Structure 1
Amino acid sequence: MSDDSDFTLLTTPPNPYKKLWLGFSAILVVLLAGFLVASYLQTKRHTEAELQNLSLALESQLDQGLIEPVRVDLDRIANLLPPSFFAQGHQLAADKKHLIQLAEQMSFSRYFDVLNDQGQVIFRSQPANDIPSIDKLYSPALFFRKLLSSTSTAQAIVIEPDRVNQVLHLAVPVYGKDKTFPEGWVATSLSLKAITALFAQLDIGKDGEILLRQQNSGDILLRRPALPDIYRQYPTVQADQKLIHDGSDGLTTMPSVVDDQSRLYSYRTLPNLPLVLEVGLSSRDYLAQWQAYALLACALCAILFLVQHWLSRKLLITKQREWQAVERFQSSEARVNYLLNAVGHPIFVIDDQGHCTYCNLAGAALFGFENPEALLDSRIDSHFIDQRGFPDQLSEQVLAAVGKGEYFHCEDCAFINVDGKVVPVEVRAYPNTQQADGAILTLQDISERRQSEERIAFMAYHDPLTGLPNRWQLGEQFDKVVNDANQRGEMAVLLYFDLDGFKTINDTLGHEVGDRVLQEVASRLSSMRPRLSVVARLGGDEYLALARVPDIFMLRDLLDAILEHFVSPVMDGDVRLGVTPSIGVAMYPEHGKDYDTLLKAADMALYAAKAAGRNTYAYYSAEMGEDGLRRLQIQTELRQAFENNELTLYYQPQFDVQSGHIVSAEALLRWEHPVAGAISPTEFIPAAEECGMIIPISRWVFSEACKQAVIWQRQGLGRIVIGVNCSGVHFKQGDLVADVKAALDQSGLDPALLELELTESMLIESSQRVTQIIDQLKALGVQLSIDDFGTGYSNLAYLKRFAVSKLKIDRSFVQGLHVTKDNDAIVRAIINLAHSFNLKVIAEGVESVEELRLLQQYQCDILQGFHFSRPLKPQQFIEFVEKHLNVRPEPQATPARPRNLYTLHRPRRVQPLPASS
C-alpha cells in the first residue's frame, strides 16, 4: 500500500479544448452581431415600406374621400355663379332660389357661404346645425386676410382650421372677366371629426404621430394625438420647412415640433390641395419587436457561452482526473488493490470455472474472514444457498449472463458466513474486461433493508400497539373466511367490539394505563382462537373479529363465551379495572355480501347494543339501517334548519299552587320542517348532540329566551322566570358560563329570572370542572334546578353540595298518579325530600284534575302540564295570560296542613306582577 504522496499530481495536463472554445466563442459573437444588424436593417426596411403604405392610404382617403369632393363642389358653384352676382348684390333675392338649388346639388356638403372681395358674407345657404359657418370662426379676420391676400390664380383653394369648434374652413376664389383678381369667394366648413376618424383607423403604435399641415405656412391643421394646446402656434424646424416648401414626397427622421420626440416620418403633398401629410412612427414602437428578438438572441448566446464554459470546465476536470488516475495507478497493482480495499463495497472476481481469483477486504469481512486470501481459489457456489437451503449454482447463472455481455442482478441470494449465519445479499455481476472469461461481482448485505421492509409491511397491516391485524388486513382475510365457511356449510359473522366506559379509564388513569388495557383486551380476544378466525383492532377501543359458526345457537354460545372472558377485571398493578364490551353482530350474506357492507351493519348493531345497556350484544336488523339513515338525514338537515330559522321556542306556563299565578315558564325547542312538518325534540336534540350542533343551538336558545322574558316584562306580564334546559354536551364541552353571561348581558335580563335545568347525569360526576361551573353559574345569580329527578342516580349528595333551588318530578311519575301506587309513593317521597332540603318541587306532565288534586294534597309547589296549557308561541303565551287563565281557591275537605286547593274555572284577567326595581 502506498502512502498519500503517491496521489499527488505530478504534471498538469494541457487543455486541448481552449483554442476550440475560443474559436467557438468568436464565431458565436460574429454570428450574433450579424444577426442583430441584418434583423435591424430588415425591420427598418419593413417599417419604411409599411409607413409609405400608411401614408398612401391616408392620402387617398383624405384627398379623394373627404377634401377633394368638397373642393370640386365649391369650384362648380363658383363657376355657376352669375357674372353680375357681386356687382348687383341688391338682386340677391331674385337669385336665392337658384343658389339654394346649387346647395342641394353639392355631393359632399349641403351648405356654403358667398363672400365679396372684402370678406363680407353676402349670401348663406342653409348651414348645418352642428358646423359653425364662416362668421363663427374663432379668428375670422385672419381667415379673411388670407382670402384677400390670395389674389394669385395659382391659389385654387384656401384652407384654415378652427380648432375651437373642431371644423376646417375651405374657400375657392370666384374670378371676373379679367381672371386677375377674385371678385369674391365661395366657402364652406368641414368637421374635423371625419379626418380624426380617418387618423384613428391607422395603427401608428403607442408613440406614433400624424400631422396635417398647410403647405405655405407650415401651420398644423390637425394632429394625432391631439395638440396639447390648440391656441399655440408651433414653429417649424428646418427639416419641416424643407418638406413643406419643396412639395416632394419621401422619408426622413426628425424631431417633432410638438413633443420633441424623434420619429421616422413619411411626408406627402396632397395633389390639388395646399396640404402636407406627415405620418411618423417612433423607434420605440417599430423597434420593440426587434429589441425583444435581440435580447432573446443575446440571452441564448449568453446561455450557450455559459454552457460551453461549463462543459469546458467539466471536460478539463475530467481530463485532469483521468490524467491523475493514469499517473497514479496505471503501473501499480498495489494502488489498484488499495483503491478496491478502500471501497466499502464487497467486490469479487471469478474465473470461467467459478473460482474466486480476487476479493477485497470488504468482501472478506462480509463472509467473516479477516484475510481475503481465505476465499481465493474456492468455488463461490460453496458459500451460497438457494431458498430451500441447498447449495446454489450462482456461478453458472452469472457466467451465462456475462458471457452474452449482459448485466446480472439478483436480490434473492443468500450465503452462509463463517459463523453459520444465513445472510441475504444483493448480487450484481459485470463482464471482466481484463480477461476473456470470468466476471466481476459486487455484493451488498440487505439484512437491514429486508427487516425494514418486513417491519413496514407488518405496520401496514397490523396495529402497532396490540400487534393485531388492522382493518385492511381483516378486509383481505374476509374472502378467505367466507370461502371456508361456504365450503364447510357454516355461517360467517363479523363482530364489532367497543369497550364500555374506556374513555373514563383514559381520562382518570392516563393513556399509559389505557394502552395496557387495550393490550390485555387484545390478548383475551386472541386467546379465543380458533373460535375467532381473525381478530383485528379497528382503532381506539374498537375491535373486529371474523368467525365461522355452524348455526345461530353456536353463535350465541360464542358471544356468551366472549362476554364471559371479560367477567374478570383487568389488573394493572394493584388497580382492578372492570372492562366490558358491547358487541355488534352482522352475518354473511343476510346482512351484507361484501366486507364494507357487513362492517356498516355491524357498526349499526353495535350502536343498538350500546343503547340496550352495554355489556351485551345485538344483531343487525333492517330497521337499524333505516334508523341510521333517518338519524343521518336529521343531522344533515339540522344545520340548514338552524341557518334558515326553522327552529323556534315555545313556552309552557308553570303555576304556583298557593297563589294560582303564572310564576315561570319553560322554554321548549321545536323544529318545524318545511316538508316533514314538526320533528320531535326527542329525535333531533340527540342528533344535534352527536353532530356538534347542540352548542350553537343552545347559545341561540339562551339568547332568545332571555330576550323574550325582557319583552314580557315591558308588556306588563311581570317578573316571569324562564326555565331553559341545559345540554349535557354543552355543560361538559362548551363554555356554558360564558354563553349564559353573554345572553344575560345582551338582553339585560335580571339573572334571578333565568333558571337553568340540569340533569342528574351532569352533576353526578364529582370533578373539579363540574364544581367550578356550578360555582360560576351561581355567581352570575341564575337559579338552578334538577330536571327529571328520580329517573337517574337520585344522589342526595349533590343536593347539598350544589345548593339547587328546585327539583322537577319527571312526567313518567306524575301521569297515572291516582292509579299507580308506586308512582304515588315516589312522588310523595320526592316532595318530602325536597322540602326537607328547603327546595321547591315542580311537577310536569299534569294532565287531569285527579293528578292536580293529589299534587296539591302532597303540597307540591309548582305545576306544569297539558291540563293547564300546551306549549305556546310567545304571542299565544301573552294572550293566554291576559284572557284565558283563572284560578280561584277552593278549600280542602280534610287538609293535612294549612294549604289551598286551586282549580280551573271561568276565565278571569290576571293582573301583572309589579316590576322589580
Structure 2
Amino acid sequence: MRTLLHRMPGGLRLVILGALLAVLALGLALSCASLLAFAVGVSAGAAIILVVRARRVPEPGVGHRPEPASCSPSAPDAPAPLPDRRHALDVLAEAIDAARRDGGSVAVIVLDIDGFRKINSHYGWAGGDEVLHECMARLAARLGPDDLLAHQGGNEFIVVCRQAGRDGATALARGLQECMRLPFAPGGHCVFLSASVGIAVLPPEPCQAPQLLHMAQVASACARHEGPAHLCFYMPRMGGAIRERVDLETMLCHAIERKEFVLQYQPRISMKDGHMVGVEALVRWRHPELGLLSPARFIPLAEESGLINELDLWVLREACTCAAAWRAQGLFGGRVSVNLSARQFQQPGLAGRVRSALEDSGLAPAGLELEITESTVMHDTEDAADLLRSLRELGVTVSIDDFGTGYSSLSYLKRFPLDVLKIDRAFVRDMEGDVTGAAIIRAIITLAHSLGLSAVAEGVETAEQVAFLKENGCDEIQGYYFSRPVWPDEVARLLAEEAPALCSTM
C-alpha cells in the first residue's frame, strides 16, 4: 500500500488523503465506503489481490472482486489422466542416461498449488476437481515437446525437463507460476492461486532418478516453507532443514501434554491517563532442546498439522486463568487479549468454548478481548457477523488485529459488531518522516472514532511515535517503548511498581 502511494504523484496523493480525512471528519456518510476503498487502500486493490493470491481465498465482494467475465473459465472437459510418479521416474531415468551419454543436462520441477485444501473446503470436491483440471490444462500448455508433466497426487505436479539446465528450468518454472496466477472460477466464483516450485538439476556426481526427484521435492518443501509463490533450487544443506522441520513437527504433537507452551504478556497503555489497561497474551514454546521459540517457528507448523485448534484453546484458557488471578489479587482491572486463528474462528462452537474458558477460570467476560485478523472474518461474512454477535453477547470485547494490512473495507466495519481497531506496527514504524504513513494513521484513528471504536497502536518504540499518536487521539499504545513481552510475575510487578514510572514520560 505504502509503496504504491509513494509512486503516485505528490499532488494526487495529498488530494486523496485530504479527501479521505475530510469525509471522515464529516461523520462517515455511506458514500464514504467507495472513497475509503480508494484512499485508505489506494493500493488496497493491488495489495488485496496480492494477499488473496498468497492465501488462496476468494476476494471479498466489496469493491474489489473482478467481474465474472475476467475470471478464466475452467476447462470444459476433464483432461486425459496425466502420467503418475512411476511413469515420471521411468522417463527421468531415460533422460539421465541420455544426458550422461551425450553430455547434456536434465532438470526436475516439483510444483505445489499453495493452500489447495482451502479450495475443497470452500467449494467442495467438485470445485477442487474443476480447479485441478484447469491447472493440468494450463501447465501442459506451457511445456515444450521434450518435457513431461506428471501428477504426483493431490496438489503436486512433476515436470521432467529433458535437455534443460538451470537457466532453462528457471524460465520454465517462472512460466508455470505465471499461468497459475490467472484467476480460476470454481462454481463461477473468482479465486486466485499461486504455486510453490522446487527445482533439482542433474549434478556431476552419480545420481539416480529417485534421488533427483527427491531432491526436487526437498526444494519444493523449502519453497513452501518460505511462503506462497516461492521458487527454490535444491542445495545439499536443505536436507538438514527438512529433517529439522519434521522433528519439530513431531515434538509439537506432544508439546501441550508435556506443558511446554508458556505465555508472555505485553502491556497496553492508555493514552488518556498513562495507566496499564490491558495485556496481550503471546504464546511461546519452551522447547527442551532449542530453548524458547517464538510463534514464527511453530505456528505455521501447528496450522499445517491441524494442532492450531488445540493450541488456541490452551492459550485462551491459560490467559483467562492468569487474568482472573491478577484480578483476585486486586492488581488488575483491565482486559487480557487473545489472538484467535482463522481455523479456531471457523470451528463450530467457538462461543461455547469461550464461555467455558470464562466460567472455568472465574474471569468476568469484560476482562477478555478476542483479536481477529481482517482476512479471517472475510471468508464468510454472514456467518462471521453472526459469530461476532454471539461473542459480543457473552460480554467480551472484539478487536480487528493488524488493521490496514488486509481488506481494509468499510463494509465489514459497518456490518460487524466490533470494539477495537489495532493499527498494524508497519504503519507505526514508517510514520516518522513519512507524510503518507502519518496521514494513514490519522485516517485510521478518525475512522475508528467515527464508528465508535477504540484505536490501539502496536509496535510503538520511540517517544516521537508516542507524541504523534497522543496528539492524534489514539486511545491505547503497545510496544517496546513501554515494555517487551514479559512473564506473568513481571506483569504483576509492572502493575504494582513500574507502570506509573513508565507512563510519567508521556
TM-score over 0.5 (shorter chain)? yes
Matching of residues 388-427 of structure 1 within 5 Å: none
Alpha-carbon distance in 1 for matches of 2:189, 2:319: 48
Alpha-carbon distance in 1 for matches of 2:118, 2:306: 21
Q: Deviations over 1:610-639 (max 9, x none)?
A: 566755643233454444333223222223
Name the residue aligned to 1:903.
504
Q: How many residues align?
A: 429
Q: CA deviation at 1:805?
A: 0.6
Q: Deviations over 1:819-871 (max 9, x none)?
A: 44443233222212211212111112222222211111111101112222222
Name the residue aligned to 2:445.
831
Q: Is the 8 A contact 2:123 2:187 kept in 1?
A: no
Name the residue aligned to 1:690.
304
Q: CA deviation at 1:491?
A: 1.8
Alpha-carbon distance in 1 for matches of 2:418, 2:253: 34
Alpha-carbon distance in 2 for matches of 1:776, 1:592: 63
Q: 1:488 to 1:557 in 2, by over 3 A?
A: farther
Alpha-carbon distance in 1 for matches of 2:173, 2:434: 39
Please tell me whether residue 872 in structure 1 is matched to residue 486 in structure 2.
Answer: yes
Q: Deviations over 1:736-756 (max 9, x none)?
A: 333212101211221121100
Q: Is the 8 A contact 1:538 1:544 kept in 2?
A: yes
Alpha-carbon distance in 2 for matches of 1:571, 1:806: 35
Q: Is the 8 A contact 2:127 2:187 kept in 1?
A: no
Q: 1:578 to 1:751 in 2, by over 3 A?
A: closer
Please tell me whether residue 725 in structure 1 is matched to residue 326 in structure 2.
Answer: no
Q: CA deviation at 1:700?
A: 1.4
Q: CA deviation at 1:658?
A: 0.8
Q: Is the 8 A contact 2:425 2:458 kept in 1?
A: yes
What code does the residue aligned with 2:413 have? L
Matching of residues 364-403 of structure 1 within 5 Å: none
Alpha-carbon distance in 2 for matches of 1:475, 1:535: 12
Higher strand share: 1
SS of corresponding position for 2:269: strand
Alpha-carbon distance in 1 for matches of 2:246, 2:368: 34
Name the residue aligned to 1:472.
86
Q: Is the 8 A contact 2:197 2:220 kept in 1?
A: yes
Q: CA deviation at 1:563?
A: 4.6
Q: Is the 8 A contact 2:112 2:196 kept in 1?
A: yes
Name the residue aligned to 1:497.
111
Name the residue aligned to 2:202.
588
Q: 1:800 to 1:574 in 2, by over 3 A?
A: closer
What code does the residue aligned with 1:711 have? A
Q: CA deviation at 1:877?
A: 1.3
Q: Is the 8 A contact 1:532 1:545 kept in 2?
A: no
Q: CA deviation at 1:513?
A: 4.5
Alpha-carbon distance in 2 for matches of 1:783, 1:590: 62
Q: Deviations over 1:131-165 (max 9, x none)?
A: xxxxxxxxxxxxxxxxxxxxxxxxxxxxxxxxxxx
Q: Is the 8 A contact 2:388 2:417 kept in 1?
A: no
Matching of residues 527-566 of structure 1 within 5 Å: 527=141, 531-563=145-177
Q: CA deviation at 1:763?
A: 1.3
Matching of residues 64-463 of structure 1 within 5 Å: none
Q: Is the 8 A contact 2:321 2:363 kept in 1?
A: yes
TM-score in terms of structure 2 length: 0.76
Name the residue aligned to 2:393.
779
What code does the residue aligned with 2:376 have? M
Alpha-carbon distance in 2 for matches of 1:591, 1:717: 67
Name the residue aligned to 1:443.
none
Alpha-carbon distance in 1 for matches of 2:204, 2:256: 39
Q: CA deviation at 1:500?
A: 4.7
Q: CA deviation at 1:648?
A: 1.4
Q: CA deviation at 1:724?
A: 0.6
Q: Is the 8 A contact 1:652 1:869 kept in 2?
A: yes
Q: CA deviation at 1:556?
A: 3.2
Alpha-carbon distance in 2 for matches of 1:577, 1:656: 42
Name the residue aligned to 1:755.
369
Q: CA deviation at 1:686?
A: 1.9
Please tell me whether residue 629 in structure 1 is matched to residue 243 in structure 2.
Answer: yes
SS of corresponding position for 1:652: strand
Name the residue aligned to 2:31.
none
Query: 2:99 is matched with which residue: 478, 485, 489?
Result: 485
Alpha-carbon distance in 1 for matches of 2:149, 2:119: 23
Query: 2:213 is matched with which residue: 599, 605, 625?
Result: 599
SS of corresponding position for 1:641: coil
What code does the residue aligned with 1:833 have? L
Higher relative CO (Cα under 8 Å, sequence separation at least 6) belongs to: 2
Q: Is the 8 A contact 1:790 1:810 kept in 2?
A: yes
What code does the residue aligned with 1:780 have? L
Alpha-carbon distance in 1 for matches of 2:338, 2:285: 16
What code does the residue aligned with 2:303 have? E
Higher helix share: 2
Q: CA deviation at 1:564?
A: 5.9
Alpha-carbon distance in 1 for matches of 2:371, 2:181: 38
SS of corresponding position for 2:216: helix
Alpha-carbon distance in 2 for matches of 1:559, 1:860: 47
SS of corresponding position for 1:772: helix
How big is the alpha-carbon RMSD for the aligned residues of Structure 1 and Structure 2?
3.1
Unmatched tracts of structure 2, length 5 or more: 1-77
Alpha-carbon distance in 2 for matches of 1:869, 1:574: 50
Q: 1:510 to 1:840 in 2, by over 3 A?
A: same
Q: Is the 8 A contact 1:814 1:844 kept in 2?
A: yes
SS of corresponding position for 2:316: helix
Q: Is the 8 A contact 1:813 1:823 kept in 2?
A: yes
Q: 1:666 to 1:469 in 2, by over 3 A?
A: same
Q: CA deviation at 1:602?
A: 2.5
Q: 1:519 to 1:703 in 2, by over 3 A?
A: closer
Name the residue aligned to 2:468.
854
Percent identical pairs in the alignment equals 37
Q: CA deviation at 1:757?
A: 0.6
Name the residue aligned to 1:620.
234
Q: Is the 8 A contact 1:695 1:734 kept in 2?
A: no
Alpha-carbon distance in 2 for matches of 1:577, 1:652: 37
Alpha-carbon distance in 2 for matches of 1:881, 1:738: 31
